[in-house]
Chain A
């Protein structure tokens, strides 16, 4: 059967057809839909882990137990999971283990643009690089076979365009299941130095066998055509090369580590001019040059951002696409107003950032929807580095002598990497404050359950992590739980926490409005006559508060009733009390 699938859907399909039985992940764009789709196959145990390190360990344990296993994450997630990865390379596997790293060239939704192909070389494990959805499915299954045949974890590398791009996939029935079972083997699975040294030898030997395999496997192939121009490429870049230079000879690499040295030399010898086309770093280029092969690479193609057909056409000296008749840049669209992403109307986070800005605090931010508070008009975030860095960062600034620093992060991020930072604050005598924006969900990536949600990936009920109780257990004595829709209570709690001579935690507790639609209330009403036109409500950056022409109040403010959820934050900050909430009136 043929179907249009995204790369992520195709990976999930490949996992199911390939007999994966244990799968774990932490959400992260562009990888999230892999586990969401795996969860639709009841035969596979799937879960959201608290972070990528735990997810990797669960998958490795599944493999030790004889099950085929999969773990998926975004590129920066592999930094978190790198510790188990590097030693899993030594232990090898029992059931096949595939590790998916979804990179984000162009940083559509990431804090950096790291090229995770380097992990394959650094950890000494093979890496596959699919170029469309059909290959995403096929390579997932191939990775499981390679894993078992060579006793190694296998990395599968995707990028945003592969993960989120859709193309047709031919599907099949699942393979017969592998028999699970754990065979104790201490010198393989217990990595003490004595055993580890022996395993390192095995790893080096394995890399040699894999390099030989790279020359034989159909994953790598030469497409001979016009030999005046030859291109070595892989992944999405392969499609762009075929688009702009259908006449060129191509060495298409599916297995990008280790590389097929002889095949590369044979291809180089058969063409007049040799290019390597790859996104981000000169990963292939440096290895090819180390073989003594002369190749044109990053001098012709950018090292930052995504590639696209035009960039490749220019780099290959073809001057854009071959179809011509381009009408580019006839209209000046640069002056058009941008449509930047913003926090949703009714978002429980909005009021907190308004308050933090009002109190002129230095805000160490973190990764989540709330990072959007850096934009206009709130502009209330001062740092954002990685998951959990708000807490360590706030602590470090405090020790550097900076006053009024506050760390802010969401529930999922706190569980992922914030808890250890908070332990450090208590242990090392911080006087700082941490705000946990507890909306009961991992919202930014599209609302995935977490340990505080009370639900699992399956939708089944689960114990919900009690965050105040956890903080108490860590030794935090000053804990405030507030409703973020109550601005007065929130400001009071933040002020008290900042003044407290010890570690404080403020938990703003209200579910993401997108998971609790019943919490939506009647839209607020703006009394155009009562409004004095100060424009303070516009400082909230609420999508429902619009500035229009010829209607609304005297400065043209109007409440968009379709968007307004009646959260009432604007009613609390309006100095002329011109905005009223129906539910508020009823309460009075």
Chain B
């Protein structure tokens, strides 16, 4: 069986998850891979959990990642990260944004305060970042998805210029600059972490 790499993007509606998944998919296509992506929208637009499956390789059949086969989990929020941990395969990497968004109607006491610790304990490798803070530094809090994509870019066999041109194609002017900066902050963070 030819090797297929599985990436799960998980977070809360409105965090730019599907955009990051889309841009990653397009970067992988530019790099010559077969790509399939599956996501559910509809009810998830109203503050629900959002999960996007992305698979790439020489030939991909199922757009759904078999449970427990995710190589890289990109979690945009702590609780959604913890919820998605069982999707990871052995040796899988969890990249988690250190942000918490309280579900509507959920009391703070019900929100797992130890989400990060549990993720770190369960995942074979956990990369915890404050993407929201880094995005704010880049110029817009909403660019946290690009920070996470920057980290992801270091884990994938796609050259840097493909990512950068994907960002420049997707956004215009000032917005493009901010997103590129956010992406680079994520990339630098990962490069530094890898050399430590």
Give A contacts to B, CB under 8 Å: 2, 4, 29-30, 108-109, 132, 160-161, 164-168, 236, 239-240, 242-244, 246, 308-310, 320-323, 325-331, 333, 336-344, 369, 372, 376-377, 445-446, 538, 541-543, 546-549, 556
B105 touches A342 (CB 8 A): yes
Interface-forming stretch among B81-89, B146-154, B155-163, B181-189?
A: B81-89
Contact of A546 among B36, B42, B102, B109 (CB under 8 A): B102
Contact of B110 among A4, A246, A337, A341 (CB under 8 A): A337
Judged by a CB distance under 8 angstroms, whether B192 is at the interface is: no
Residues of A within 8 A of B122 (CB): 330-331
A240 touches B35 (CB 8 A): no
Interface size classification for chain B: 35 or more
A-contact bits for B106-128, CB 8 A (1 contact / 0 none): 11111110000010001000000
Contact of A446 among B45, B68, B80, B102 (CB under 8 A): B45
For residue B99, give the distance in angstroms from its CB to the closest CB of chain A. Answer: 12
Residues of B within 8 A of A326 (CB): 67-69, 89-90
Minimum-distance CB pairs A-B, first 7: A109-B42, A326-B68, A341-B46, A243-B62, A242-B61, A341-B48, A166-B37
For residue A350, give the distance in angstroms from its CB to the closest CB of chain B. Answer: 12
For residue A279, give the distance in angstroms from its CB to the closest CB of chain B. Answer: 12
Bound-state CA distance A61–B103 (Å) is 48
Contact of A341 among B47, B64, B106, B108 (CB under 8 A): B47
Bound-state CA distance A339–B69 (Å) is 24
A321 touches B42 (CB 8 A): no
Given contacts A327-B86, A331-B82, A548-B108, contact A243 B36 (CB under 8 A): no
Number of A-B contacts (CB under 8 A): 168
Bound-state CA distance A161–B38 (Å) is 7
Residues of A within 8 A of B66 (CB): 243-244, 308-310, 320-321, 323
Judged by a CB distance under 8 angstroms, whether B49 is at the interface is: yes
A322 touches B63 (CB 8 A): no
For residue A11, give the distance in angstroms from its CB to the closest CB of chain B. Answer: 16
Bound-state CA distance A331–B68 (Å) is 12
Judged by a CB distance under 8 angstroms, whether B12 is at the interface is: yes
B34 touches A168 (CB 8 A): yes
Determine which residue in B12, B61, B92 has the highest number of CB atoms from chain A within 10 A of its CB, and name it. Answer: B61
Bound-state CA distance A546–B49 (Å) is 18
Residues of B within 8 A of A320 (CB): 66
Judged by a CB distance under 8 angstroms, whether B164 is at the interface is: no
A376 touches B105 (CB 8 A): yes
Residues of A within 8 A of B91 (CB): 325
Residues of B within 8 A of A132 (CB): 36, 63
- B88's nearest neighbour on chain A, judged by CB, is A327
Residues of A within 8 A of B48 (CB): 339-341
